[in-house]
């Protein structure tokens, strides 16, 4: 499948699409496909996040915010679990487009050529495997993009597995990249607007607990992922932070690795809630998101209730296992 997908990408003019508010893994995957399988352009219809934008500038990557489908022979979606994640105004992908992803399949990519491995921590690992399988040389700038994707999607190794760590070491060696260079790539001081948004999210946070497990929610205006991390640092085990823009909401979720080991899977929780509310939700065990039309406060309440149900199940299981 890796070689077959790589052959489809070769020598065809491509537009590479990433999800709204694209993170470093999405942009790193898109940049790697663009450089390894030219000719190609990258488009982020829903914009990119702060870290991805900074790294793209360092790499000299041009990212379009719109495109004309008639200019391209092939469309490629990377790190995107459903077409709704591109955001409003993005043309639907034609049948036969390529999807490269590492999220739990949503069943929404009908008629597409799909290369998906939901056991991988990051999408860039799949692109790396594809390049190796096709015998494509990997230049240093692409190595930097791959390293950035692995770093950020693993939470700087907090959620890494042995395969990601081996791949990371291999890419360091391939590109002749030093560890400090890789770590500095995605580091950026928080802007004043981000700091203010995080402080407001902390101020507005609500929490509840089941046994020794705490779940928190908050409503902010932006920087949802940064707010999640800050509230987790304050002591929460699971956090949901949402924002409202007119009739639409966006919500990010994070959980500690300990909660993932106990059985919490945020991707499953938000996928189920998304199915119930006609929203687009999903992700990984410790990091997930959901977006759609609706009231963010109502969505946060659903997330809180569903997570507490899971925590009660975990507590009951732990108690029963302690019985003689």
Percent of the chain at pLDDT exceeding 70: 98
Residue 9 has phi, psi (to 5 degrees) of -80, -25
- Asked whether residue 20 falls in the same domain as residue 145, the answer is yes
Per-residue confidence (pLDDT) for residue 62, from 0 to 100? 94
The number of C-alpha atoms within 13 Å of 100 and in the hemisphere containing its C-beta is: 32
Residue 284 has pLDDT above 70, yes or no: yes
Nearest to 148 by CA among 285, 31, 18, 21: 31
CA separation for the pair 74, 76 (Å, rounded): 7
pLDDT tens per residue, range 118-139? 999 999 999 999 999 999 999 9
- Asked whether residue 290 falls in the same domain as residue 268, the answer is yes
- Asked whether residue 69 falls in the same domain as residue 151, the answer is yes
Nearest to 50 by CA among 297, 265, 225: 225
- Asked whether residue 201 falls in the same domain as residue 81, the answer is no
> Other CB atoms closer than 10 Å to residue 107's CB: what's the count?
7
Where is 2: in which H helix or E strand? helix 2-9
Beta-carbon contacts of residue 91 (< 8 Å; ≥ 6 apart): 69
Asked which of 170, 185, 200 is the last residue of a domain, the reply is: 185
- Asked whether residue 171 falls in the same domain as residue 196, the answer is no
Helices (H) and strands (E) in the chain, counts: 12, 12
pLDDT tens per residue, range 194-208? 899 999 999 999 999
pLDDT tens per residue, range 68-111? 999 999 999 999 988 888 876 565 788 899 999 999 888 889 89
CA separation for the pair 215, 221 (Å, rounded): 20
Percent of the chain at pLDDT exceeding 90: 74
Residue 152 has pLDDT above 90, yes or no: yes
Question: Phi-psi region for residue 246, left (φ > 0), alpha (ψ -120 to 50) or beta?
Answer: left
8 A C-beta contact, residue 213 and residue 51: no
Residue 289 has pLDDT above 80, yes or no: yes
User: What CATH number has the domain bearing residue 29?
Assistant: 3.90.1640.10
- Asked whether residue 149 falls in the same domain as residue 43, the answer is yes
State how far the alpha carbon of 162 is from the alpha carbons of 159, 170, 209, 212, in Å: 10, 12, 32, 29
CA separation for the pair 18, 67 (Å, rounded): 13
User: What CATH number has the domain bearing residue 276?
Assistant: 3.10.310.40
- Asked whether residue 230 falls in the same domain as residue 105, the answer is no
- Asked whether residue 172 falls in the same domain as residue 213, the answer is no
Residue 44's domain comprises: 2-185
Per the prediction, the chain carries an average pLDDT of 92
Q: Tokens representing 270?
A: 């938000």
- Asked whether residue 32 falls in the same domain as residue 129, the answer is yes
- The helix, strand and coil proportions of the chain, stated in percent and rounded to the nearest 5, come to 45, 20, 35
- Asked whether residue 159 falls in the same domain as residue 249, the answer is no
Asked which of 164, 185, 206 is the last residue of a domain, the reply is: 185
DSSP secondary structure, 38-106, as one string: -SEEEE-TT-B-HHHHHHHHHHT--EES---GGG-SEEEEES-SSGGGG-TTPPPPPTT-EEEE-SPP-
- Asked whether residue 258 falls in the same domain as residue 273, the answer is yes
Asked which of 185, 217, 242 is the last residue of a domain, the reply is: 185
CA separation for the pair 238, 254 (Å, rounded): 6
Q: How confident is the model at residue 21 (pLDDT cuts 50, 70, 90)?
A: confident
Total domain count for the chain? 2
8 A C-beta contact, residue 109 and residue 14: no
Residue 324 has pLDDT above 90, yes or no: no
DSSP secondary structure, 252-300, as one string: EEEE-HHHHHHT--HHHHHHHHHHHHT-EEEE-SSEEEEEEES-HHHHH
CA separation for the pair 29, 7 (Å, rounded): 17
- Asked whether residue 199 falls in the same domain as residue 159, the answer is no
């Amino acid at each position: 499948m890796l070689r077959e997908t790589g052959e489809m990408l070769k020598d065809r003019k491509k537009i590479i699409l990433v999800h709204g508010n694209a993170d470093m893994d999405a942009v790193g995957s898109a940049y790697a496909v663009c450089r390894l399988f030219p000719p190609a352009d990258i488009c982020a219809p829903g914009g990119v996040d702060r870290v991805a934008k900074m790294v793209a500038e360092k790499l000299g990557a041009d990212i379009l915010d719109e495109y004309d489908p008639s200019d391209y022979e092939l469309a490629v979606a990377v790190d995107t679990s459903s077409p709704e994640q591109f955001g409003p105004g993005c043309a639907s992908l034609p049948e036969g487009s390529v999807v490269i992803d590492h999220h739990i399949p949503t069943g929404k990519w009908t008629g597409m050529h799909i290369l998906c491995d939901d056991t991988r921590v990051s999408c860039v690992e799949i692109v790396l495997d594809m390049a190796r399988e096709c015998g494509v040389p990997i230049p240093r700038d692409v190595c930097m993009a791959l390293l950035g994707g692995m770093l950020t999607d693993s939470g700087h190794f907090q959620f890494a597995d042995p395969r990601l760590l081996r791949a990371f070491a291999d890419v360091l060696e391939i590109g002749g990249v030093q560890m400090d260079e890789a770590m500095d790539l995605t580091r950026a001081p928080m802007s004043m607007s981000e700091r203010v948004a995080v402080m407001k999210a902390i101020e507005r946070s609500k929490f509840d607990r089941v046994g020794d497990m705490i779940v928190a929610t908050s409503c902010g205006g932006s920087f949802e992922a940064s707010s999640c991390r800050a509230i987790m640092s304050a002591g929460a085990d699971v956090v949901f932070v949402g924002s409202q823009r007119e009739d639409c909401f966006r919500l990010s979720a994070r959980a500690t690795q300990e909660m993932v080991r106990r059985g919490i899977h945020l991707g499953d929780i938000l996928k189920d809630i998304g199915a119930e509310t006609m929203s687009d939700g999903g992700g990984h065990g410790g990091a997930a998101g959901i977006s759609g039309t609706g009231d963010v406060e109502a969505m946060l309440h659903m997330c809180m209730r569903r997570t507490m149900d899971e925590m009660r199940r975990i507590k009951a299981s732990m108690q029963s296992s302690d019985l003689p």
